[in-house]
Amino acid sequence: MASRPLSLSRDLIARAHPDTVPDDETALTLLSDADLAPELAAMLARRASPEGGLWVFAYGSLLWNPEFAFTEQRLGTLRGWHRRFCLLQRRFRGTPENPGFVLGLDRGGICRGVAFRLDDADPHAILMPVWRREMKGKGYEGRWVTVETEAGPVTALTFMVNRQSDRYTGRLSDAEIADKIATACGHLGPSAEYLLRTVEACARLGIHDRHLWSLQALVAERLRERRAACA
């Protein structure tokens, strides 16, 4: 994967999305820390054993923007789940009228990612920033999973897509997903930038994901068409 150039680029994205988008706080109701704290406490209570350390499995934006300091990282494989753009984003990198997409873990297949080891002195305080980030929009469910690494299996917290959420889209085709990613933009930037940064992070790690690679090519094609139409 790393040996082949990406079709998608920052310049292509910037040319297609030159204007900023204001934030709309009504687009997505967010849970408060008071709402989130009991859920995190319950999740920690379900932790099998603290002896193996405190780990988080990253597969999307946490690969390039982790919400925590970590003491170790390992490439790992999660079986029974795959990463997929299956969660609409009506705020941040999209709008209610033109939602973007973010990744979630959905059932079936395997997922290669990174297991990060965190300081275990105060698990609740250490995990709250990432728990807030992933859980405040009600799009994910936290779960302890077994991640296979070269140094042995680790039990890690990760975030599966919440299939009961009205943001869950099910299994759309890559073409349908690319149509939305190419046009969507929120106050944090274009949806295509999220895709690009994730593909770049996977390439640096030596992770080849056909879903991501197909999407970046399709989105690049649509952005070029959009640019040509505007010209």
Q: If you average pLDDT over residues 130-148, what whole number do you get?
A: 97
Each residue's pLDDT tens digit, 78-92: 999 999 999 999 999
47 lies in some domain: yes
Q: CA neighbours within 13 Å on the CB side: how many for 156?
A: 29
Query: At residue 152, does pLDDT exceed 60?
Result: yes
pLDDT of residue 231: 63
What pLDDT sits at residue 2?
45
Phi, psi (deg, nearest 5) at residue 174: -60, -35
Q: Is residue 4 part of a domain?
A: no
Instruction: Round the average pLDDT of the chain to a whole number and report it.
Output: 94
What is the Rg, in whole angstroms, of the alpha carbon atoms belonging to the chain?
A: 18
Q: In which band, very low, low, confident or very high, does the pLDDT at 67 lie, cut at 50, 70 and 90?
A: confident
Q: Is 34 part of any domain? A: yes
Residue 21 lies in a domain: no
Percentage of residues of the chain with pLDDT beyond 90: 91
For 72, the token pair is 């170790």
Distances (CA, A) of 228 to 12, 182, 223: 12, 14, 9
State the sign of the Cα–Cα–Cα–Cα dihedral 29, 57, 169, 220.
positive
Q: Is the pLDDT of residue 47 over 50?
A: yes
Question: How many structural domains compose the chain?
Answer: 1
Domain that holds residue 108: 29-225
* Residue range 161-180: mean pLDDT, rounded: 96
pLDDT over threshold 90, residue 4: no
Q: What mean pLDDT is predicted for residues 60-71?
A: 94
- Tell me, what CATH number does 96's domain have? 3.10.490.10
Whole-number Å distance between alpha carbons of 178 and 111 = 21
141 is catalytic: no
When pLDDT is averaged across residues 207-214 and rounded to a whole number, the result is 95
pLDDT grade for 3, boundaries at 50, 70 and 90 = low
In a domain, 82, yes or no: yes
- pLDDT for 229 equals 76
Distance CA 46, CA 93 (A): 33
Give the mean model confidence (pLDDT) for residues 63-75: 94
pLDDT of residue 1: 43
Q: How large a percentage of the chain has pLDDT more than 70?
A: 98
| Residue 57 domain flag | yes
Pick the catalytic residue from 134, 148, 150, 221: 134
